[in-house]
Structure 1
Amino acid sequence: MEYRQLGRSGLRVPALSLGTGTFGGQGPLFSNWGTTDAREAASLIDICLEHGASLFDSADVYSDGASETVLGQAIKGRRDQVMISTKLGLPMGQGPNDYGTARSRLIAGTEQALSRLGTDYIDLLQLHAFDAHTPIEEVLVTLDDLIRAGKIRYIGVSNFAGWQIMKSLSIAERHGLSRYVANQVYYSLVGRDYEWDLMPLGEDQGLGALVWSPLGWGRLTGKISRNKPAPTQSRLHETSQFGPPVDDAKLYDIIDVLDEIAVETGKTVPQVAINWLLQRPTVSSVIIGARNQQQLIDNLGAIGWSLDKGQIARLNRVSDRTPPYPHYPYYTQDGFALLNPPARH
């Protein structure tokens, strides 16, 4: 397994990590993802550790805490072999303080996550969304206190806009507080919006990307193609509503190229799609998911080899789309591109 620095921090993380959204399987969304129990989770973690994938990502809202509980049970007795990443901030109840990132919520949420995970520290705690109701200074001071108390070691964000991250980093620097080092983002061949603002920000400010849903909410698993649309019983119909829409014509063009390159490389479509992400700027780790051992082993096969420059160029070309203002001049006019070059590829 290749290990990479997590942004501008001293923490090295595996290029592939395991998402635990399938653990627990409670509720309409997460039961569609999977219903992995502690025994099954332990066997998946065994495979990950055998391949060197030692980072496991969760969140308090995954199956209403059950994902963290199952993960904690599955790593019992081998905490020193794994790294835990989790998230908080989204609603965990109906009460006025059951959501957000106010001081009381951050402290209580961290303590509850530690209890469910059966550990006394979290390697990486990420805010699941920006909380417009809480002053950024309050958030950062609380996170800094939790780091100083040894409850968490590194901090990051997820689903933040670029200005929200930049303002937070500026306030942290001004007050000498711990900085965010990670940004957990949606990024795939069918969803390249990350490249427009957040990738240049991450490169400039030292935030490593942890990529979630690298297969575009199940669209790039190799199970659907131009002549084989998703079956009516596919869980894609249930889960795709939570991700950005994808034009069918564009999707099938991308899948056509993925199929061609899979044949050329002797790899599977998911392996090719994930390997493309591993070549992208700022990506520290791609979070893979698995409902069973076979899926996990296949996804782990995305590393240990590389697409060639020609194959990467073909995937770039077929998946590219015109970015919104003010980004598009940088791609279409030499003068703008000279002043504002894209992130290094």
Structure 2
Amino acid sequence: MDIRSLGPGGLSVSQLALGTMTFGMKDWGCDEDTAIALVHRYLDAGGNFLDTANAYGRSEEICGKAVRGHRSRVVLATKAGLPVGPGRHDRGSGRAHLRSACEGSLRRLGTDYIDVYWVHVDDEATPLEETVEALDELVREGKVRHVGASNFRAYRLMKALSVADRLGAARFVGLQGQYNLIVRTLEREHLPLLAEEGLGLVSWSPLAAGMLTGKITPGERPEGTRLGQREVAFDALVKNEHGFRVAGQVRKAAAEIGCTPAQLALAWQRTRPVTSVIIGARTLAQLDDNLASLDVTIPPDVLERLDEATRLPDEYPGTFIDIVQGWLRGTRPGVTA
């Protein structure tokens, strides 16, 4: 498994990260023994990047047990920001919550430091200056080594980077965002921003909550997938007419090249500017299937068809600006005054 740099510093992570939201999760997760076995199988395969969050129930506690004796091999990432209690300081990106959440995560993980501390979602009610300063304090105290953003609008991410530069504070090393063959909207604003600012992309939901496994069809709720067990508001981003059309294309292409739809969807990520892809599993068989995606090569003609079938629709101002840029560079036929 390839090891890549996340951000401009010395942080090195594997191209596949192991997401642990399923660990200890009721109804659609896995039990503690299975979760620990999943971590060890992933580490044996050459992975080093574990992703959890304080809002994932028992996940941090189980991760802590799983990496005991292996801590030096693991880049351990967790998140804070989603509600974990009824109080105002039990959520968000204010100083009070970030500090208390960090202490709680350190305790549950059984570690002295967190390698990557993600802001789980942008908190628009808290000034970015407060968030950036609080994260910088945690870095200076040695409790956190790197900080990152998750689920930020592009302009807010750029503003946070500017605030860090102005204050001389720790900068985000990357963005964790939903990116897959159904949801490619990060390509409009975020990917150019990440490239220009030197940040890495860690993609979550590469299988679109199971839509790209080939198991989900309209009107059915199959067992073994998150969408089959429960639905949350943002599942509408993938479980729609466009999502089912893309899933059908993926099933067809996977059959053509002789792999599973999930493996094809994960292999597609390697063709994109993604530093690390978060995979999730409830069983060893699911993990092995995901890991086998590293052996899948997508033929150029199949990749071209997938990209064409899933490309973003034209939009303003992006498409307009792209056309005019072509005129300015003389690479696209234009109009003359």
The TM-score, its normalising length taken from structure 2, stands at 0.90
Structure 2 counterparts to residues 1-345 of structure 1, below 5 A = 1-25=1-25, 31-37=26-32, 39-63=33-57, 66-224=58-216, 230-231=220-221, 235-237=226-228, 238-239=230-231, 241-246=233-238, 248-281=240-273, 283-330=274-321, 333=323, 335-337=324-326
C-alpha change, 1:229 and 1:313, in structure 2 (3 Å) is farther
Letter in 1 for 2:294: I
Q: Is the 8 A contact 1:217 1:240 kept in 2?
A: no
Q: Is the 8 A contact 2:209 2:226 kept in 1?
A: no
Distance 1:69 1:216 in 2: 26
Letter in 2 for 1:56: L
Distance 1:32 1:193 in 2: 31
Q: Which moved more, 1:311-320 or 1:115-124?
A: 311-320
- The percentage of aligned residue pairs carrying the same residue is 39
Q: CA deviation at 1:200?
A: 1.1
Letter in 2 for 1:316: D
For 2:136, what is the secondary structure of its paired residue?
Answer: helix
Q: Which moved more, 1:300-309 or 1:205-214?
A: 300-309
**Number of aligned residue pairs:** 327
Q: CA deviation at 1:277?
A: 1.2
Letter in 1 for 2:18: L
Q: CA deviation at 1:13?
A: 0.7
The TM-score, its normalising length taken from structure 1, stands at 0.88
Q: Extract unaligned runs of 5+ from structure 2.
A: 330-337
Q: Extract unaligned runs of 5+ from structure 1.
A: 26-30, 341-345
Distance 2:232 2:18 in 1: 20
Q: CA deviation at 1:319?
A: 0.9
Distance 1:174 1:68 in 2: 33
For 2:92, what is the secondary structure of its paired residue?
Answer: coil
